[in-house]
């Protein structure tokens, strides 16, 4: 069940109460005054999608041997994930590389290649977060020895941000009226609206590059989605 909580943000920057001066011609008596206010709106939601970055690192004396060892382990992991209910479209290779392994050089001597390392990682998208701990257990059991990241996301973030945007506009208008009234003026028509970068992207959780303990405990928490707007009104 998704939980939505609307939060009034205290973060408001009143940018300026600007009065534009004009020349002394009679036609310029209608000079426009304006007020510009920035405000934030927020909405809180429980994440419903998780993305796991996991894989295998294998080493051997030759690149071929390291690749074969790695490939065998990755095939086992991918097959096990699919058998566990993960759709093929939710398993994507995110990183693959082969690199030499060096011996530590003695002073005054160059390092020598003594083997090769193959790293293959996949990103697994999990739509049922209630089973996330079991999936992490499965990855470890199947042989994954790389756990480089876990991100939580809200799949309906863009729709929820629309509510945060409405709240941001309402906050800006309320404060614009407050400042205009204090200055002996009234808020008129909107001259300009702009939106700065919004918050609420994937939230990362660091993962150790070691085997996972049984029954991995996972807490999804909540995501705070924010919209920031800057609006300029004419003053009457």
DSSP 22-48: --S-GGGGGPPEEEEEEEEEEEEE---
Least confident of 36-40, 195-199, 209-213: 209-213
How does residue 96 score in pLDDT terms, banded at 50, 70 and 90? very high
Residue in the structure block whose two tokens are 């300029």: 232
Query: CATH top-level class for 5-46+156-201+225-235?
Result: alpha beta
pLDDT one-digit tens code per residue, 19-51: 333 334 434 434 579 999 999 999 999 999 999
pLDDT for the residue numbered 221: 84
Mean pLDDT of the chain: 83
List the chain domain ranges: 5-46+156-201+225-235, 49-153
**Whether pLDDT at 8 is above 50:** no
Contacts of 135 (CB under 8 A, 6+ apart): 52, 81, 84, 86, 124, 126
Distance of alpha carbon 44 from alpha carbon 54, whole angstroms: 28
**How is residue 149 written in tokens?**
């990241």
Span 183-207, average pLDDT: 77
Q: By the 8 A CB rule, do 175 and 37 touch?
A: yes
**How is residue 82 written in tokens?**
């699919």
**Whether pLDDT at 4 is above 60:** no
pLDDT for the residue numbered 204: 52
pLDDT for the residue numbered 22: 34
How does residue 199 score in pLDDT terms, banded at 50, 70 and 90? low
- φ, ψ dihedrals at 220, nearest 5°: -80, -25
Q: By the 8 A CB rule, do 207 and 139 touch?
A: no
**Whether pLDDT at 59 is above 90:** yes
49-153 CATH: 3.30.70.2970
Distance of alpha carbon 141 from alpha carbon 139, whole angstroms: 6
**Whether pLDDT at 76 is above 90:** yes
User: Same CATH topology for 5-46+156-201+225-235 and 49-153?
Assistant: no
């Amino acid at each position: 069940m998704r939980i939505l909580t609307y939060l009034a943000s205290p973060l408001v920057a009143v940018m300026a109460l600007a009065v534009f001066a004009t020349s002394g011609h009679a036609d310029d008596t209608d000079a426009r005054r304006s007020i510009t206010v920035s405000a934030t709106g927020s909405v809180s939601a429980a994440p419903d999608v998780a993305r796991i970055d996991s894989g295998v690192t294998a080493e051997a004396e030759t690149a071929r041997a390291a690749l074969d060892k790695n490939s065998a382990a990755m095939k086992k992991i991918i097959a096990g994930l699919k058998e566990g209910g993960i759709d093929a479209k939710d398993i994507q290779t995110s990183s693959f590389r082969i690199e030499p392994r060096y011996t530590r050089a003695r002073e005054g001597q160059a390092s020598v290649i003594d083997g090769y390392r193959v790293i293959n990682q996949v990103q697994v998208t999990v739509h049922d977060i209630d089973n996330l701990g079991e999936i992490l257990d499965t990855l470890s059991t199947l042989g994954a020895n790389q756990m480089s990241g876990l991100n939580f996301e809200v799949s309906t973030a863009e729709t929820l941000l629309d509510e945060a945007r409405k709240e941001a506009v309402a906050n800006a208008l309320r404060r614009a009226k407050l400042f205009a009234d204090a200055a002996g003026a009234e808020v008129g028509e909107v001259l300009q609206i702009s939106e700065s970068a919004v918050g609420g992207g994937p939230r990362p959780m660091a993962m150790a590059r070691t085997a996972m303990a049984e029954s991995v405990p996972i807490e999804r928490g909540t995501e705070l989605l924010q919209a920031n707007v800057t609006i300029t009104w004419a003053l009457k």
